[in-house]
Structures are given as structure tokens and as C-alpha cells.
A and B are shown apart, each in its own frame.
Chain A
Amino acid sequence: MKKVFAYPRALTKKRTHYCPGCTHGIIHRLVAEAIDDLGIQERTIGIAPVGCAVLAYEYFDVDFQEAAHGRAPAVATGIKRVHPESIVFSYQGDGDLASIGMAEIIHAATRGEKITVIFVNNTVYGMTGGQMAPTTLPGQKTTTSPYGRDTATVGYPIRVCELLSTLDGPSYLARVSVHDPAHIKKAGQAIRQAFAMQVAGKGFSLVEVLSSCPTNWGMTPTQALTQVKEKLIPYYPLGVFRMTEEVAGDDA
């Protein structure tokens, strides 16, 4: 039985540095709950990205390595190959994963590397002050697309789950959102499923989480959540893009 409001053991008590209303904190909590639920805290190793979650290692009570920008899947690969019995996950933003780290994520996925990736898509480069990301929506204003993303000159956003679903390596690919309690619950189930795949020895698993960045979107936290619901979800449809075979204990 899971206590709904219990503080996850896999989180430290440290206060996070995230902006008010930022959904990185919720995603951390969902990851920690999955780790608790599966009883894997003592053998889990995380990889922090370069991005707003660079300090993730301060918030999770598990071993951690901090990677260079975009290289987390390669670092995860090195760790997993040394400790195949451990549970290895990377936590990455959209600039980190879908721009500078595109080669690393595609190759980790196609190798079926037995790691779990939590991919936080907030459509901007949060940490560096809100520049255009590979996932920035058409027309979306950012500091480096001040007139709105012009698809005629800078092209279109990348849908990572759809892209990776062309590969045979992944065992589980899903896109979720954390803009309201019902979706948060589903997101938690997907994250748990992704870790469960790794526990069962299946290949690469990834959950893309649509996330808000009120600070760089220039919105209040509530407006930002509405933006996720009304603008992000239509462009980035939620769902499961790959499920090789459901594995144990999916009752969260």
C-alpha cells in the first residue's frame, strides 16, 4: 500500500532551487516515488544534465554523476556497463537531450541500452534564460526567437517520442503531462513503468514529460499550466509510443 502524502525516501530534505510554479519539482517527486515503490533506492544511480536540473544530485538520495551538456545517455551507458545489476537513469531537458545530445540519445535508444530516461520538455532553454529550444513551438516567442519561431527559417520542433519510436531498441516510450492532478497520476504510472522495464532487464525506456517554465514563458504558474494543456499537448500528443511487454507490479 502506498501512502499518498508520504515524503518519498528517495528524495533528500533539501529545498529545491526551482522557480515557483516550475514543474521540475513534481517530476522529481514522481521519479522518487517510482524508486521507492520498486524498492531500488540502494542500487539506483542517476545522471544529472546541464540545465535547470543540474543540481538534481542534491535532491535525490541516490548515487549520482553530473554529465556534460547532452552527454547523460553516454555517461549512463558507461555506468550501466560497469554495474549491469544497478538501475541507471538520466534526467534531461529538451536542449540537453534533443539538441546538443541528440546523437547520444538516439544511439543509447537504438542500442537498447538498459537505462531509463526522464525527458523534461518545457519548450525552452530554462537555465540559460529562455532561448529557443529544438522543441519550441511554431510561433513561440523566446529570447532568440523574439518574433516567434519562424518555421521557414529555423524549421520545426522535434517530437522525440515519435522519432525514437522508429527504432527497435526501446522497450518503453511514453509522453505524459503534469499540468493537473489526473495527468500527474498518469505521469507517475508511466515513470514507474519505465523503471519497471529496467528492473525487468528490458531495453531502453524513456518518458517525455511536458513541463512548464513560467519564468521564461513570462506567465504565472497557472497560466503556464494552461499553456501546457492548450498549446503543448495538441502539438505533442500524449500516449504510449512503445510498449514491448508490460512488466510486473503496474498497480501504482
Chain B
Amino acid sequence: MERVMMKGNEALAEGAIRAGCRYFFGYPITPQNEIPEYMARRLPEVGGVFLQAESEVSAINMVYGAGGAGGRVLTSSSSPGISLKQEGISYIAGAQVPCVIVNVARGGPGLGGLNPSQSDYFQATKGGGHGDYRLLVYAPGNAQEMVDLIGLAFDKAEEYRNPVMILSDAIMGQMMEPVALPAMRTETTEKPWATTGKQGRSKPNIINSLGLVGEDLERINIELQAKYARLAAAEVRYETDGTGEADLIVVAYGTSSRVVRSAINRLRQEGKKVGLFRPITLWPFPKEALASLAAEGKRFLVVEMSAGQLVEDVILAVNDRAKVSFFGKLNGTVPTVREVYDRILSSLPEGGEG
């Protein structure tokens, strides 16, 4: 393990290379430019291909081609660009092609701003493109997780033959932190389904998402749903910090979870019983873990940089068994520790003073 100081975006890019990613297709957009720039420099050194596409639409379709052909392929963008990729993502999910898509999210809607935001949660976890499909969505909470989760993302994408998304944001991408980099991976996965040319195979490999006949489409969708059910059963990840003894549990991911952690540490020093629940997979959502905490009588506060997206999944998970309050930031800024501290204090139940 090599320890280095890296920006989140660069840590992610180097993590991808070390996980065996050899193809990158993308289009410039702030605040994710460090990723394509890093890849443009680094991929030729390891015998890979970097190509700046004519648009995000083309980039995601290049990803579909490269992933279908068996390559370990990455694309990254930021919110408006991720919107453009949605048609392609739907095709990739339908055709069951592995790939990894990074969204270094910024504020919207429309052109929005360049500041960090968590307002693409719905888009990432509930579809975004057309049809009944799911992405495995990871939300890293620090630069180390950028490295670890991008490696995991490639493995899971291939294991399930499904697109995987990393939902990051402008702050996560820019902050410098120490990271431990894994060794360069050399092993590759067998992909007997990939379009390589028949090479003596008796049947051609066909990659598509077409089901013109009703029964075909139903069969495809049943197969997909079975896969998503396996994924949901096996791939949930989250972190808990002091949730066992807490009266109030703050739910947050990514950048907002970092602010929450600081606020909670301060409150704990003051004797308050406050915990952090941090989903690492946004889909599949850790709903059972939240449901059992709700059954224990905990209260919840959801903190996110949006008008309230994650909070809907928390409410669904606790299913009326617990009180859920919400604190959201809409102006493309990160909540301050003080703001979150005050919000937690006012959400604490009577006697939460411990």
C-alpha cells in the first residue's frame, strides 16, 4: 500500500486505473475535470485508451460499446452531463453491460451552479432514464473510499453485469486527503458474452435491449428484477457510529455526513446521545438496518444538500415507526457544523441530554 495525498477526483481516477480500468470516455464539465485530465495523462502509460467524446451522449454510448466488447470502462461527468447520459444508461442496464459512471454532482436544476449538491439522489437511485432498471449506487464519504469503492464498483459491475454509479459531489472531488493506494491489478474477468468477433464460436454474441414481442420483454424484465433482488440482498453497505446508544440518529451520506460527524462529536462531548447512520450504497438502500433502529424507538434526522430526496427513502424504511425530521440546504453550499449542531439539538427528544 502506497500512502499519498490526493484530491478526491484524482484518488478516484488512480483507484480506477489500479482496479484495471483501461478505457475512459467523457466530455468536459466542472467540477469533475480532474478525472478526465488525470485519465488522459495516465491511461496511455498503462496501455489504455482515453477519448474525449463529442458529447456526454456519445461518451456513454462509447462506454456501451467498450463495455459490451469486454473492456473495463469508466465515464465521469457532473449533473447536467449525467442527465444527457440517461438514455445510454437505460440501454446499458437493459443490455446488461458492466461499466462505471461517476457523477461529481453540482447544483441544479438546469445549468444550476458549480457548487456541491446532493440533488441528484433521485436521478441516481430511482432511474433517471426510462424503464424498470436499477443502478448499484455507491456514495463515498472520503478520499480513501473514492479509491476503495471505485475498485469495488468495477468488480460488482462485472459480477452482476450491471452499470454501477459513484455519486460524489464538488467538495468530495476537490478535497485533499491521504489515501492508501492498492497495488495495480492484473487479473481479468472472463467475459464469454462480450462482442469480440466470433473467433470460432458457433453462435454470435449479441448485446441488445430489444424485446419487440411482449413475452420477450416480460422475460427480460423478470430476469432483470431477479438480478436486482439478488443485488439488494447481498450488496447493502452502510456505516453506523454510535447508533446503539443514541436517542437521535442523523442519516447523511457523502459530504453532508462529514459535517454531521463533526457536529455529533461536539454534541457527544456535551453528553448528548447522538449517532450517525451513513448509507454507503444509496441503492440498494439500507432500509432493513434503519427499520430495526426505528423498531428500537430511535428518532431520525436526515441532513442532505437537497430539498429532501434521501429523506423519502428514510421515511419509507422506518414506515411510521419513528419520527423523521429533515434539514436540507438548497443554495449549493455545505451546511456548517454550527447549523447542523443547532438542528440536532432542537431535534433531540426531551431528556436527550443523557
Contacts and interface: CB of A to CB of B under 8 A. Distances in A.
Contact of B58 (A41, A79, A104): A104
Interface in B48-76: 49, 51, 53-55, 57-59, 61-71, 73
A144 to B, nearest CB: 22
B51 A81 contact: yes
Interface in B8-28: 23, 25
A98 to B, nearest CB: 16
A71 B88 contact: yes
Interface of A: 41-45, 47-48, 54-55, 57, 60-68, 71, 74-83, 86-87, 103-104, 106-107
B347 to A, nearest CB: 46
Interface string B77-104: 0000000000110010001000000000
B200 A74 contact: no
Interface residues of B, number: 39
Interface string B21-44: 001010000000000000000000
Contacts of B63: 78
B240 interface: no
B65 A76 contact: yes
A77 B75 CA distance: 14
B68 A62 contact: no
B122 to A, nearest CB: 23
B208 interface: yes
B69 A78 contact: yes
Contacts of B57: 71, 74, 103-104
B206 interface: yes
Interface stretch (B190-198, B309-317, B326-334): B190-198
Contacts of B204: 57, 60-64
A67 B206 CA distance: 11
B176 interface: no
Given A44-B197, A81-B62, A82-B66, 5 more contacts: A64-B195, A66-B207, A66-B208, A66-B209, A68-B88
Interface of B: 23, 25, 49, 51, 53-55, 57-59, 61-71, 73, 87-88, 91, 95, 195-200, 204-210
B207 A81 contact: no
Nearest to B63: A78
A45 B69 contact: yes
A63 B195 contact: yes
Nearest to B87: A68
A81 B49 contact: yes
Contacts of B64: 65, 67-68, 71, 74-75, 78
A82 B61 contact: no
B61 A63 contact: no
A78 B198 contact: no
A63 B203 CA distance: 8
Given A57-B204, A78-B66, A65 B25 contact: no
A42 B204 CA distance: 9
A48 B208 contact: yes
Contact of A65 (B59, B68, B197, B200): B68
A111 to B, nearest CB: 8
Contacts of A55: 210
Nearest to B197: A43
Contacts of B61: 67-68, 71, 74-75, 78, 104
A45 B208 CA distance: 13
